[in-house]
Amino acid sequence: MVVGIIGLGLIGGSMAIDLRRRKFADRIVGTDLDNVNAAAALKIGLVDELVPEDECVAKSDIIIVAVPVSAAVKVVCRTLDRFQDEGWTDKVVMDVCSTKEQIAKATMYHACRKQYVATHPMAGTEYSGPWAAMPNLFDSKVCIIADQEESSPKAVEEVVKLYDALNMRIGYMSVSSHDVHTAYVSHLSHVVSFALANTVLDKEKDEKHIFDLASSGFSSTARLAKSNADMWTPIFIQNKENIVRVTDAFIQKVQEFRDAIDAMDETAIRSLIDEANRIKRIIK
């Protein structure tokens, strides 16, 4: 099995590590528009060979598109165009993006749509680039396959085998449901973390105080604020409607806390905290 990876950052690089060491991939070829990232991926052994995108598609049985969502739409469509032009019917292309609706619309009527599988491995860190790639990143995490009925059973089967090699649990959702749920459990947390970091940086001008006084609570909450703007800006734009709606709901909850604290209403504060504590039953 030859795996091609377009985009050699955290996700693509971490996939490469485990797909190789768990014997799913016999060979891994890759490409990245950033020459520094590409050279680093080759030097640290994430890929066996660096090739242009066209050659990556030609040489690979499965092509993983692991670039920001704004670029992924074009890359997936280009790849399917190449499948059609060359008459390749056994190859599969998959993406790993955290928004799905725009890619779904762009590929809906493509002649080779059945060879594309929309996936979202729910794993990651706040770091980016090939240097951030690590083994075991995906172990025991969930991967969503979206609109699986639009893909051929054979393509889905190949992709499930790939995620099995990464020790991921598979879930299935429609594209629209996926984008709503990720707005709640992933995208909102990044908005909150970015806003929290900006608030602290704006109000606390002495960076030494931030460093000295930042507790583990602040550090863990603000951790996501270190995430890369190149990745998250297009996510926010592509999932705009869901994120705006979710952010409005969050602002309402913040306002409830603010009003209870301002009124020194101990009963209301306790009630809000007790309500939030229910999350302990879900997240261990």
Same domain, 154 and 211: no
Q: Are residues 168 and 195 in the same domain?
A: no
Report the amino acid identity of residue 56: C
Q: Count of CB atoms within 10 A of residue 175's CB?
A: 19
Task: DSSP letter for 10, please.
Answer: H
- Give the dihedral sign, CA 244/247/252/255: negative
Number of structural domains in the chain = 2
pLDDT bucket at 218, cuts 50 / 70 / 90: confident
What is the reported pTM? 0.89
What pLDDT, on a 0 to 100 scale, did the predictor assign at position 281?
Answer: 85
Does residue 284 surpass a pLDDT of 90?
no
Question: Are 112 and 202 in a shared domain?
Answer: no
User: What pLDDT score was predicted for residue 209?
Assistant: 65
Nearest to 224 by CA among 176, 178, 185, 168: 185
User: Same domain, yes or no, for 127 and 211?
Assistant: no
- Contact in structure between 121 and 165 (CB atoms under 8 Å): no
Q: Which of 157, 173, 189 is the last residue of a domain?
A: 173
| Alpha-carbon distance values, 268 to 192, 249, 262, 271, 275 (Å) | 23, 18, 11, 5, 10
What 3-state class would DSSP assign to 65? strand
Largest CA distance in the chain: 70
Bridge partners for 146 per DSSP: 118, 173
At 220, which CATH number?
A: 1.10.3660.10
End-to-end CA distance of the chain: 37
Same domain, 149 and 197: no
List, for residues 137-158, the tens digit of each pLDDT value: 999 999 999 999 999 999 999 9
Residue % of the chain over a pLDDT of 90: 86
Residues 117 and 153 in one domain: yes
Question: Are 41 and 78 part of one and the same domain?
Answer: yes
**Residue 206 vs residues 201, 219, 281: alpha-carbon distances, Å:** 9, 17, 39
Tell me how crowded residue 110 is: count the other CB atoms within 10 A of its CB.
16
Query: Do 167 and 47 sit in the same domain of this protein?
Result: yes
Q: Is the pLDDT of residue 181 over 70?
A: yes
Domain end (from 121, 148, 173): 173
Model confidence at 200, pLDDT cuts 50, 70, 90, reads confident
Inter-residue contact 54 to 82 (CB < 8 Å): yes
Classify each residue of 78-103 as buried b or exposed e, where b means 16 or more C-beta atoms within 10 Å of its C-beta.
bbbebbeeeebeebbbbbbbbbbbbb
The percent helix, strand, coil of the chain (3-state, each to 5) is 60, 15, 25
CB 138 within 8 A of CB 166: yes
281 beta partners: none
Same domain, 153 and 211: no
Q: Please give the residue range of the domain that contains residue 59.
A: 2-173
User: Looking at 173, 203, 224, which one is the last position of a domain?
Assistant: 173
Do 228 and 252 sit in the same domain of this protein? yes
- The answer on 140 and 112 residing in a single domain is yes
Q: Using a pLDDT cut of 70, give the percent of the chain over it.
A: 95
* 166 and 190 together in one domain: no
**Is the pLDDT at 203 greater than 80, yes or no?**
no
